[in-house]
Structure 1
Amino acid sequence: MSDNSTDFTALHALAWAAGSDAPEKNALNIGFMPLSDAASVVVAATQGFAQPYGLTLNLHRQTSWAGLNDKLQSGELDAAHALYGMIYAIELGISGAPASDMAVLMGLNQNGQSINLSQALKSAGVTCAAALKQRAAQPGASLTFAHTFPTGSHAMWLYYWLASQGIHPLHDVNSVVVPPPQMLAHLQAERIDGFCVGEPWSAQAVDLGQGFTVATSQSIWPDHPEKVLACTRAFVEQYPNAARALVMAVLEASRFIEANVENRRSTAQLMSSRDYLDVPLASIEPRFLGHYDDGLGTPWQDAHPLSFHNHGAANAPYLSDGLWFMTQFRRWGLLRDDPDYLAVAQRVQQWALYRRAAGSLEIAVPTSPMRRSQLLDGSVWDGTDPAGYARSFALHARHDQ
């Protein structure tokens, strides 16, 4: 995997790495979970994007988000492919461990997660949200859904989608935490009735006849924030040049992946290997390219596919993206009081560092760290009134009522 268009940038990077901006630490331990959206980190580490910046990226595949969380806080990992909400939970001290100062260096992707329901529900005719709501309301019904981390994006997409359909995620159904690679085993064993997870696990479930996709995360919020490149703020403060070099390497990898369809295909092939996803290419590449089949006989080309770059829009660490996750923590009772939303986001989001890195690569940076979006229930999010937004939903944690 190489692209001549990167040659000039690589020469510039060599000069940069040799000057006063040279990284203070050259070998970085980078954690990732086996998910399609770890691709830009994997490509940066393995396809020559880090070396011109004087970096060696040592990849460490993790088995659970909880384990990655612990290793990131302890310093065993210098940085990681991470859940947006997990980083804010650590910052706010609601991750099950003492609060730690954290940093979101950049976004790694937008879109590309899914909610799947089981084959048993499909066989029972529960193939849409209305039927699921009816099933959940039946006396004695006990539906269990899995997500990947209590404050992670998958929990938030699952809760948001269920609530938008009139199903209270905390009272009408049960939820459990399952690491992404174990989702299919739990589904097959009928321990869960559905899940929300990143690819390729939703597509593989469909391919194996283990149910169907009832909603994509991009149908909830088109071009939503998803995984981030994260580290502790102590790392940024101690190794600012290394942090910026890391962002530049991953930004270049992100841009490379989306330079053309063949680069997407070759990246999907790389990710299918045993070292990363260890899943057949046929379960990775289609959704990597935005080609969906829901398992109910409906194929489509998604208008908001998994995006690693999108001309920089997928990578900018918007303050409003971080704010949104905190509003959902407040909505669902994970936060008992309103934090100083903007102050927290300004601490965590490394907007200035990202601007410098992107500018050096001539990648467009949004003029504002806030962006405006409309979600599937019609609510508009622009970051201007997070406390009011958190209180605006009909369904929320009961202690707020």
Structure 2
Amino acid sequence: MTIKSLGNPYDGDVDLRHGLACNCSDCADDAGHRMKAVSARDQRTRMSTDDMLDRAVESAIVRSMFGHNELSRRSFAKMLGGTTLAAALASVLPIDKVKAAILDEIGTPEKTDLSVGFVPITCATPIIMAEPLGFYQRYGLNVEVVKTAGWAVARDKSLNGEYDASHMLTPMPLAITLGAGSTATPFLMPAVENINGQAIVLHNDHRDKHEDVSTWRGLTFGVPFEYSMHNFLLRYYVAEAGLDPDRDIQIRVVPPPEMVANLRAGNIDGFLSPDPFNQRAVWEEIGFIHILTKDIWEGHPCCAFACSQAFAETYPNTYGNLLKAIIDATQYASDSANRSEIAEAIAPTNYLNQPVPVIEQVLTGRFADGLGNVRDEPNRIDFDPFPWHSMGVWILTQMKRWGYIEGDIDYAAVAEQVYLAADCGKVMADLGLEVPAETYKSHVIMGKTFDPAEPEAYVESFAIRRT
């Protein structure tokens, strides 16, 4: 595994946001400068664990002093020179003591070289941006984030150990643990990545169906995976309009990067998909945004950080530091002031491979909807790591409702086994974030309140269901 984003933080010629493997246009144009920033020793040999931890913490300290603003850091470094900058900072800040304190606090990871899978969507923002913006480095980890074509691949590579951890859809760790769609394997979900952030898009040919969902009978829709909030929210939405999602419409699994192409080709009439593909359909003038999923369920979970129970138990320090890096990145992404910087960091080909304006429209919430409107929806997507047990219970009720799981199920026990609210809460507290006092709460979906204390009655309350 190559060392990612471990360039010299005192060198103004290197952009620390992108790893040496990045082939975006900016990095390709600046390839000579980026290679110069890697020491001869680093080019000849792999860094030792101690070297990597030392460089990672030093880089995090320097970058934090410039507010993670790469332009400011690089300009200042070029003006003073790297040696002078290092000496100047050392004269006012006891960097060696700070490094020692940080490393003592996080504990030495048992395993530092990690592969973490991601599907190229904006829901994965914290997992992706933690590489170019240095959050993994901060906690002594050399993480390679690996672009993955779809969720079945992410699941299978996580199960076979090719990935140490992965970006997953929030229903996936529940399904894997229960053996729904795969061999039953205990999986853990200690952090949610994003809330909201999805939409239903229709092809422009169906503008006449925008106002009346009951006219969707016979249409074909794409969702990214069976065990996804997209599938369960689409099913919920059309069922509330009186349509049976298994009989009155067709639902097909389409990997997110293929959604727009399938819409253009007429293979599907619409989709409930993660961004940036909703906005990309508008950008390419193929489709329009019918509804944001936040208007179905405000604050619904979508994607998450997950790993096997075996990984967490075998490498407890590594697991803890990885979780802390991702939650730290999540809270950084939750600040709207950082969204433009993040859009630039995750746009390159090795990450989302999307135009920066498309990603900015998603992250900032100011966007064209394809119907002639420019909308301001600051909560179009947000980032909140807390894995509410009640959210897990709701997902399990929908898996039961539509026949993905059968028989008796202890909803709360499964949710609490998989959604590690305690682990997340501890890290949030360490980072100075507000931690919810409870792990269960009621949720409102399309005007109806879900009580997590009565899951079976909730399932039976729906006229349209498989059970």
Using the size of structure 2 for normalisation, the TM-score is 0.77
Map 1:174-323 to 2 at 5 A: 174-261=250-337, 263-302=338-377, 304-308=379-383, 314-323=384-393
- Structure 1: distance between partners of 2:316 and 2:175: 23
- Structure 2: distance between partners of 1:101 and 1:181: 29
Q: Structure 1 residues 234, 259: closer, same or farther in 2, change over 3 A?
A: same
The counterpart of 2:209, out of the listed 95, 101, 126, is 126
1:330 paired residue number: 400
1:118-146: CA deviation from partner (whole Å, max 9, x where unpaired) = 12212xx2222x1x41351xxxxx31111
For the aligned residues, what is the CA RMSD? 2.0
Q: Structure 1 residues 273, 300: closer, same or farther in 2, change over 3 A?
A: same
2:465 paired residue number: 396
Contact map agreement 2:220 2:250 (CA 8 A) in 1: yes
Contact map agreement 2:216 2:249 (CA 8 A) in 1: no
The counterpart of 2:145, out of the listed 42, 52, 59, is 59
Q: Structure 1 residues 5, 234: closer, same or farther in 2, change over 3 A?
A: farther
Measured after TM superposition, the shift of residue 225 of structure 1 is 0.9
**SS in structure 2 of the partner of residue 46 of structure 1:** coil
1:204-233: CA deviation from partner (whole Å, max 9, x where unpaired) = 101111111111111110011110100011
The counterpart of 1:29, out of the listed 115, 135, 140, is 115
- Structure 2: distance between partners of 1:368 and 1:157: 25
- Structure 2: distance between partners of 1:38 and 1:3: 23
1:351 paired residue number: 421
**SS in structure 1 of the partner of residue 387 of structure 2:** coil
- Structure 2: distance between partners of 1:183 and 1:53: 36
1:107 paired with 2:192, answer yes
2:74 paired residue number: none
1:247-301: CA deviation from partner (whole Å, max 9, x where unpaired) = 111121122223452x210111122211111111222111211123321123321
Measured after TM superposition, the shift of residue 80 of structure 1 is 1.0
2:163 paired residue number: 77
1:162 paired residue number: 238
1:170-195: CA deviation from partner (whole Å, max 9, x where unpaired) = 11001111000001111111011111
Ranges of 4+ aligned residues in structure 1 off by more than 6 Å: 5-8, 10-13
- Structure 2: distance between partners of 1:172 and 1:279: 34
Unaligned runs of 5+ in 2: 1-16, 18-62, 69-92
Measured after TM superposition, the shift of residue 12 of structure 1 is 6.7
- Structure 2: distance between partners of 1:283 and 1:107: 23
Q: Structure 1 residues 98, 80: closer, same or farther in 2, change over 3 A?
A: same
**SS in structure 2 of the partner of residue 214 of structure 1:** strand
1:295-319: CA deviation from partner (whole Å, max 9, x where unpaired) = 11233212532112xxxxx111111
- Structure 2: distance between partners of 1:384 and 1:4: 47
**SS in structure 2 of the partner of residue 364 of structure 1:** coil
Contact map agreement 2:133 2:345 (CA 8 A) in 1: no
1:26-66: CA deviation from partner (whole Å, max 9, x where unpaired) = 12210000001211111212222122322111111000110
- Structure 1: distance between partners of 2:376 and 2:463: 33
- The number of residues matched between the two structures is 380
Measured after TM superposition, the shift of residue 19 of structure 1 is 5.8
Higher RCO (Cα < 8 Å, 6 or more apart): 1
2:448 paired residue number: 379
Using the size of structure 1 for normalisation, the TM-score is 0.90
Structure index of larger Rg? 2
- Structure 2: distance between partners of 1:253 and 1:43: 7
